[in-house]
Structure 1
Amino acid sequence: MAQTKVLVLDERRGMPPGLRDALDHVGAEVHVHSPGEVLAAPPGRLPEVTVLLASAELAPHTVRSVARRLDDEGQRPSVVAFAEHDLHLLDHHVTAGADYLAPPFHPDLVRARLRDCHERAQFSRTMEDVAAHAELLSYERELEIGREIQLGFLPDSLPSPKDWEIHVRFRPARTVAGDFYDVFEIVNRRRLALVVADVCDKGVGAALFMALIRSLLRHTAEQSGLQSLIAAELMGEEAGWAEHSRAIPVVGATPLLNAVAGTNNYLTRNHIRQGYFATMFFAVLDPATGNLVYINGGHNPPVLLSADGGEPVLLEPTGPAVGVIPDVDFSLGYARIGPGDTLFIYTDGVTEARSADGEFFGEEQMVGQLGEAAVRGEELLDHMDGALSEFVGRAEQSDDITMMAVHWNPPGAPAA
């Protein structure tokens, strides 16, 4: 057994002569201090010890305080109480979990007791290490299961209406993510729902709310879509939109509003205490015309890139984040993706990507990269991936990154 290093704890900085002789006989390295001296010692000034040998005259809570102080220094010595005459004082310490030494302090008995303490301490630390490792493996396995479940909530493939290209890049910062995206058909396959959202925070909690919010949005939009279609066919598709300068079909607006407002009300009624919310861009596209009706709930403004090289158009928020304000009214936004145009939708993992120097990529640089790129659709995502990788360098990815490119490429459309 390696040399035992003993810290003797006594208010009078003493110990029974027989105990001191026994410790010297077994070759122990002995330090004697009062509790006050140990507790008042500056960090890093305490001796390294494997056994805390405490006088039974001390109160058990005083011994625990000293043990915690040593633990703060990264030491976890075995606690042993000793008494010379008043052996009944040992009872409280043994009840508190300490071992004990009582006269006669024969060297062989002291050596055996210290060896037992050392072996138990080693065994205890080994078991704690094994338990911690097993817990880590279990947690990593649970995260992997969570990742597989989360990926199951993301679409395996994206709808591809004639002459339309939709591509996505999804890079979680951790095993599971708070970002999500979805593309699905509604209104008897006459409209296309486009969703990119970012649940606040990262990790398992955000991933659980991501699954909940995605399910609520899709279910409500799909169920409302058929009702919207019936109503629109009875009233005429453009009824209710005469006040707008563009002929935006009413079909799709109802499921959009129902999905976002319904999800917001559900979250604020049932999960406001958890503190999770989501920024999201939810749009309904008419593939036949390129008309787009959308709600931007506190999300980063998507960028509409014109095929003729005109100024990029940012689709600003039309309401707050979803899950923050009960019964809030969300306004609708309108845009049109023309032939050859591309709509770039993203999460704040793009603009808040950080370089090794801590600098943010930022919206201005992102829009500049989009405007300079002489490509559209999937090649545009390749370009942005490259720009982000070059900017970030060796720095760790700090947030989930999601990018979606929606490109209309009919025959004869202008080239980028």
Structure 2
Amino acid sequence: MTSVLVLDDDSPPPGLRRALAEAGARVRVHSPADVLTTERMPDVDVLLASAAVPPNIVRAVARRMDEEGRQPTMLAYTEHDFGALEGHVHAGADYLMPPFLTSLVRARLGTCREQAELGRALRLAGGEADLHRYERELEIGREIQLGFLPDSLPTPAGWDIDVRYRPARTVAGDFYDVFELVNRRRLGLVVADVCDKGVGAALFMALIRSLLRHTAENGGVHGLKNVDLPGDARSMPVAGAATLLNAVEATNDYLTRNHVHQGYFATMFFAVLDPVTGGLVYINGGHNPPVLIRGQGGPPLILDPTGPAVGVLRDSTFTLGHAHLDPGDVLFIYTDGVTEARGPERDFFGEDRMLDVLSDGAGSGDDLLRRVDGALTGFVGAAEQSDDITMLALHRTGV
């Protein structure tokens, strides 16, 4: 019996459901979001995706399966949208189209099952030597990846920057960066999370980090005179805003033109700080909202997203957000490895717990990271770290 995972937000067409049943397939239907957030991927022979699901999302599911030792054959199906089906074919998937005849569906599933069984046999025959070689290559990859992270952080007078970075595996999809911009008058800060984990995410981490930094350091150095900032931020200095927009838009354009079929994208928070005034211009591309903790007390301020994730859609619109740090304030930037850390009972640490810790006051950036780290450690206990964790604290000391 061929096992099939149908990737669709709705139920498959009646004709296809009937043909799968008559062909003796064992079928499960899940939405892409449910599959990508599940703790363990299902072991199936065929990944059957609706053409309405973007090819990059299907590839992301397939990669998750591959990392867990599952290599299903990919099929796409449609009733009417043959244009969307073409994108899946270009991405390497086979396909099913109406009429969904039982004999044809049974034959296609049989071929897929044989391919899956052959793949499992080849993996078992790989041997221990291949495992050791793979582990060594991963270690080399880890060393190279660490070279993309800054050895030291440029820190202007009156400011402290502290970081915690813990990959869940040998290589990671998280990254952070801090670098000088606009003739050293501004400071760029980036915290980002490439979708997925493992080797593929690590390669795209290196690519996206290089694209962002190269574009930021080599373009838009004169700033913008008329930038649409919200509310009372319109009168604030915006030198560096052009740098910010150029870097994010150019990176999104490159990824969506050249790598969209590979299914990788990144959420990111990219800010440009004026160390003299404490003004912060930022783009939050689908990332977890950073939290601004006031040194003088009061509720934490959430910096909401200002655009979509980077690398998903061409011609995405990214707008600018603005914040201001007074002496004593700390900006806490993090990836979803913090809020999605799992305890022994498999429940999430969550945003509410994180905000409770942050609400205890700012202190120094290092103190704040220690508190969050301690809360995470106590919550997770002996459970395995499930995702990369990156935290950055920007503290205006005022001295």
Amino acid in the other structure paired with 1:385? D
Structure 2 equivalent of residue 349 of structure 1: 337
Aligned-pair CA distance for 1:248 = 2.2
Q: CA deviation at 1:132?
A: 1.3
TM-fit CA distance, 1:334: 0.6
| Cα deviation code 1:327-350 (max 9, x no counterpart) | 111011011011110000000000
SS in 1 for 2:250: helix
The one of 351, 355, 377 equivalent to 1:363 is: 351
**Aligned pair 1:245/2:232, yes or no?**
yes
Q: Note the residue ranges of structure 2 that are not aligned, 5 or more in a row.
A: 1-122
Deviations 1:378-411 (A, max 9, x none): 1111111111000000000000000000000013
Check if 1:143 corresponds to 2:110. no
CA shift, 1:375, in A, is 2.6
The match for 1:203 is 198
1:243, distance to aligned residue in structure 2 (A): 7.8
1:222 aligned residue: 217
Equivalent position to 1:401, from 378, 389, 395: 389
Which letter maps to 2:193?
D
> Structure 2-normalised TM-score?
0.67
- Correspondence for 1:267: 255
Q: Secondary structure at the match of 1:385?
A: helix
Once the two structures are TM-superposed, the CA of residue 255 in structure 1 deviates from its matched residue by 0.6
Offset at residue 199 of structure 1 (A): 0.2
Superposed CA offset, 1:301-323 (max 9, x none): 00000011111000000000000
Q: CA contact under 8 A between 1:241 and 1:249: conserved in structure 2?
A: no
SS of residue matched to 1:150: helix
Q: 4+ residue runs of structure 1 moved beyond 2 angstroms?
A: 128-131, 238-244, 373-376
Matched residue of 2:232: which SS? coil
The one-letter code matched in structure 2 to 1:245 is: D
Answer whether contact 2:278 2:326 (CA < 8 A) is retained. Answer: yes
Equivalent-residue separation in structure 1 for 2:268 and 2:361 (angstroms): 25
C-alpha contact 2:190 2:269 (8 A) present in aligned 1: yes
Amino acid across the alignment from 1:389: T
Contact 2:155 2:161 in 1 (8 A): yes
Query: How far, CA to CA, are the matches of 1:135 and 1:309 in structure 2?
Result: 56
Provide the rounded CA distance (Å) in 1 between the counterparts of 2:194 and 2:207.
Answer: 11
- The residue matched to 1:206 in structure 2 has which SS? helix
Partners of 1:241 and 1:251 in 2: how far apart?
A: 13
Contact kept, 8 Å, 1:186 with 1:225, in 2: the verdict is no
1:185 aligns with 2:185: no
Give the number of aligned pairs. 276
Distance in 1 (alpha carbons) for counterparts of 2:182 and 2:217: 7
The question of 1:390 aligning with 2:390 is answered no
CA displacement 1:255-307 (0-9 Å, x = unmatched): 10000011001101100000000000000000001100000000000000001
CA distance in 1 between counterparts of 2:374 and 2:159 reads 24
- CA–CA separation in structure 1 for the residues paired with 2:267 and 2:124: 41
* Cross-structure match for 2:37: none
Distance verdict in 2 for CA 1:312–1:176, change over 3 Å: same
The amino acid that maps onto 1:388 is L
User: Which one-letter code corresponds to 1:325 in the other structure?
Assistant: L
Hey, what does 2:245 align to over in structure 1?
Answer: 257
Q: CA 1:374–1:160 in structure 2 vs 1: closer, same or farther (change >3 Å)? A: closer
Query: What is the SS of the residue equivalent to 1:245?
Result: helix
Q: Is the 8 A contact 1:373 1:383 kept in 2?
A: no
Gaps of 5+ in 1: 1-127, 233-237, 412-416
Identical residues among aligned pairs (%): 67
Equivalent residue of 1:331, what SS? coil
- Partners of 1:245 and 1:212 in 2: CA distance: 36
1:132–1:381 CA distance, 2 compared to 1 (3 A): same
Q: TM-score under structure 1 normalisation?
A: 0.64
What SS does the aligned partner of 1:372 have? coil
- In 1, Cα distance between the equivalents of 2:369 and 2:342? 19
8 A contact 1:265–1:327 mirrored in 2: yes
Mapped to 1, the partners of 2:166 and 2:230 lie a distance apart of: 41
Question: Given that residues 149 and 175 in structure 2 are in contact (C-alpha distance below 8 angstroms), is that contact kept between their aligned partners in structure 1?
Answer: yes
2:304 corresponds to 1:304: no
Pairs within 5 Å for 1:12-411: 132-226=127-221, 228=222, 239-240=226-227, 244-246=231-233, 247-373=235-361, 375-411=363-399
- Tell me: CA distance 1:129–1:292, structure 2 relative to 1, closer, same or farther (3 Å): closer
Structure-2 change in CA distance of 1:209 and 1:242 (3 Å): closer
Is the partner of 1:189 in helix, strand or coil? coil
Q: Would you say the 8 A contact 1:188–1:225 is kept in 2?
A: no
Task: Name the SS for the 2:331 alignment partner.
Answer: strand
